Copies of this chain bind each other. A is one copy, B any other.
Amino acid sequence: MATGRTHRPANRSRGIPEATVARLPLYLRALTALSERSVPTVSSEELATAAGVNSAKLRKDFSYLGSYGTRGVGYDVEYLVYQISRELGLTQDWPVVIVGIGNLGAALANYGGFASRGFRVASLIDADPEMAGKVVAGIEVQHSDGLEQVIEDNDVSIGVIATPAASAQPVCDRLVAAGITSILNFAPTVLSVPDGVDVRKVDLSIELQILAFHEQRKAGELSDEDAEELPQGAGEVTASPVAPPAASVTKRGSGSGKSPAGASGGTSGRNGEPGSDGDVPAVMPA
C-alpha cells in the first residue's frame, strides 16, 4: 500500500495525493476552530461537515497520514492539529518575500492570516524607487536591488509575485535564480520555471469568468424548461462564422429576472479596448 516508490517519476509526494494535500489546510482550519473551543474529539462526520467535504473523503485523506482516529469515538482534535501541521510543514517558520507592493501586495502584507500559520514576511520588495523606504504593514519596503541578498540572508524559499503581468516572468526568473523554489503568482501570466520549482497561481479574473460561465448557463436554462433533458444538439454552432461584431451585446434567454444589466445606459464599450489590463504575450520560449 504505502509503496508507490519504485522508479516512478510520480508526482505523488510520499504517497499523499495532491488532492488530499490541498484539503489538509481546510481540515486544519476547522480543527483549529474546534481546538479554540476546547472540543476534545470530533467524528469524521462532524469535521467533514465543518470543512465542507464528504466524510468518506475525509477519512480516506486522514488514512494517508496514518491511523490517528479511534473507532467509536472519532479523532483527537489536538493531536490531529499537530499531525496535519507537521505534515504540511507548518511546525517550522517559513520566511516569505512579497515582490510588488502595489494595491494587492500591500493588502497581502497586511494580511493577518499570513503570520498566523507560520509564514513570516521576511521582506517587501518593489522596483519603484518611490516605494523604497516606505513602511507597509510595519515593514520597510526594499528596492529590488536587494532581492537576492534578502533571499540569501533569510534563507527564503517561498516568494509571492504581485507585480504587473509584464514584470512577472522577469521577477520570477530572478527569484528562482536567487534560490526560491516555491512561488505564489498573482499576476495574470503563465510563468515558466525550471523543474523543481513549484508555482501556484491565484487569478481573480479567471475565477470571475468561471462564475460568469455558470451564471450564463443558469440564465439560459430557465428559458427552455422542457428542452432541458434532450441534447440541444449543435443549435448554437449554426451561428454565422466570420468575424465577431465586436460591440453587440447579445442578450440571451433572459426570462427570469437575472439578466445582465449591460443595457443600462451606454455600453462603456467593452472590447476593442486596450488590453492594458496587463496581458503580456507569453513570448515563445523554446
Tell me which residues from 259 to 280 in chain A have a Cβ below 8 Å from any Cβ of chain B: 259-265, 267-268, 270-280
Question: Count the A residues whose beta carbon is within 8 Å of the partner chain — how many?
Answer: 144
The smallest beta-carbon distance between A125 and chain B, in angstroms, is: 17
Q: Does A24 contact B (CB under 8 A)?
A: yes
Contact of A184 among B79, B120, B211 (CB under 8 A): B211
Q: State whether B280 touches A86 (Cβ < 8 A).
A: yes
Q: How distant is A69 from chain B, measured CB to nearest CB, in Å?
A: 9
Whether A145 sits at the interface, judged by CB under 8 Å, is: no
Copy number in the complex reads 2
Interface string of A223-236 (1 = CB under 8 A from B): 00000010110100
Query: Contact at A249–B179, with CB atoms within 8 Å?
Result: no
Within the assembled complex, what's the spacing in Å between the Cα atoms of A259 and B152? 11
Q: Are B184 and A93 in contact (CB under 8 A)?
A: no
Residues of B within 8 A of A50 (CB): 190, 281-282, 284
A14/B261 contact (C-beta < 8 A), A25-B210, A85-B284, A112-B278 known = no
Q: A81: nearest residue on chain B (CB-CB)?
A: B284
For A25, the chain B residues whose CB sits under 8 A away are 203, 205-206, 209-210
- B-contacting residues, A170-214, CB 8 Å: 179, 181-184, 188, 190, 192, 194-198, 200, 202-214
Q: Does A96 contact B (CB under 8 A)?
A: yes
A270-B34 contact given A208-B119, A284-B50, CB 8 Å threshold: no
A194: min CB distance to chain B, Å? 5
Are B113 and A188 in contact, with the CB atoms below 8 A?
A: yes
User: Given A200-B207, A210-B21, A252-B155, does the pair A49, B285 have CB atoms closer than 8 Å?
Assistant: yes
| CB-based contact B184/A208 at 8 Å | yes
**With known contacts A190-B51, A211-B200, A34–B241 Cβ distance under 8 A:** no
